[in-house]
């Protein structure tokens, strides 16, 4: 039985690609210059990478890359110095606020911030955090709340939600014996040394914009030397939550915000903002 042969003509010539002049393009976004060209070790979909980007965008826009010092303790973000092209100082587990106190007092002209997870800040570092804010130390605390110990395989953290399953609460957290989720941000907002306290999230575009604005304001407020700023950021942890990145974002929206409502908790007084505006003129 004969088969039909289908003949095809092969074009051996190289395709002609027309180059569009550069002037036909408009640059709408670029990676912040203060973010190093280093592949990040964070799990796919993790909030840390996004917050790093936002923070370095703020540093670039304020033009303070050579005027800022970050403090990173133990946790998922312990290697922040590999990604942020600024001066960084490591701290022992939970002791970031104590180290930041020393840095700020020795270098009073520098902008200083800590970058801490909930296990670090709200558990082993509770004392250092509360006392630094009570003293009104003039630096920014960036508090990443993903409701678990992220680096060490997802154990229950002080911020774990009621009913939430973790490696150390496999049947879900209960108030009896395990206590309630610790609302650090509300707790410290009543301290006289707290100047600006807010809780934001990076679970959607609106949240990302508000988080960036909060970080921008908190760093600007250091010029006033009026006390401690704390920006809590609700972040997702797809790996330890056993969810896809999209599912974890929905969990932040639908579950985490019920326990940790978003918004400003303590704002500067009008006369303080007036001083800041006058200084900027």
CATH fold for domain 41-280: Rossmann fold (3.40.50)
Classified as helix, coil or strand, 28 is: coil
Predicted local confidence at residue 153, as pLDDT: 84
The pLDDT of residue 6? 46
Which 3 state secondary structure label does DSSP give 199?
A: strand
Contacts 24+ apart (CB under 8 A), 161-168: 161/255, 161/256, 161/259, 162/259, 166/240
Averaged pLDDT in 10-residue chunks for the chain of 281 residues: 49 61 77 92 94 97 97 91 96 96 97 96 95 98 94 90 95 95 97 98 97 98 96 96 96 97 95 77 50
Domain assignments of the chain as residue spans, ordered by start: 41-280
> Residue 149 forms beta bridges with which residues?
155
Per-residue CA distances from 139 to 73, 131, 239 (Å): 16, 13, 31
Rounded to two decimals, the pTM is 0.89
pLDDT (tens digit, 9 = 90+) per residue, 70-108? Answer: 999 998 988 899 999 999 999 999 999 999 999 999 999
């Amino acid at each position: 039985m004969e088969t039909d042969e289908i003949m095809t003509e092969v074009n051996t010539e190289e395709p002609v690609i027309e180059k569009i002049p550069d002037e036909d393009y408009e640059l709408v976004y670029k990676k912040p210059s203060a973010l190093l060209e280093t592949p990040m070790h964070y799990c796919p979909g993790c909030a840390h990478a996004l917050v790093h980007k936002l923070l370095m965008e703020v540093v670039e826009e304020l033009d303070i890359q050579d005027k800022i010092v970050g403090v990173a303790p133990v946790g998922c973000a312990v290697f922040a110095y590999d990604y942020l092209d600024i001066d960084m100082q490591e701290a022992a587990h939970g002791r970031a606020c104590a180290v930041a106190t020393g840095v700020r007092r020795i270098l009073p002209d520098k902008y200083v911030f800590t970058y801490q997870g909930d296990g670090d800040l709200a558990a082993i570092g509770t004392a250092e955090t509360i006392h630094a804010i009570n003293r009104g130390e003039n630096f920014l605390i960036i508090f990443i709340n993903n409701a678990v110990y992220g680096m060490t395989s997802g154990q229950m953290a002080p911020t774990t939600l009621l009913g939430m399953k973790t490696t150390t609460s496999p049947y879900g957290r209960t108030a009896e014996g395990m206590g309630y989720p610790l609302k650090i941000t509300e707790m410290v907002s009543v301290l006289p040394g707290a100047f600006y306290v807010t809780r934001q999230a990076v679970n959607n575009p609106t949240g990302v914009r508000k988080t960036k604005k909060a970080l921008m304001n908190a760093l600007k407020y250091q010029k006033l030397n009026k006390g401690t700023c704390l920006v809590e950021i609700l972040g997702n942890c797809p790996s330890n939550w056993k969810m896809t990145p999209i599912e974890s974002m929905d969990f932040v929206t639908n579950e985490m915000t019920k326990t940790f409502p978003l918004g400003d908790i303590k704002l500067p007084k009008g006369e303080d903002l007036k001083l800041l505006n006058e200084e900027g003129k």
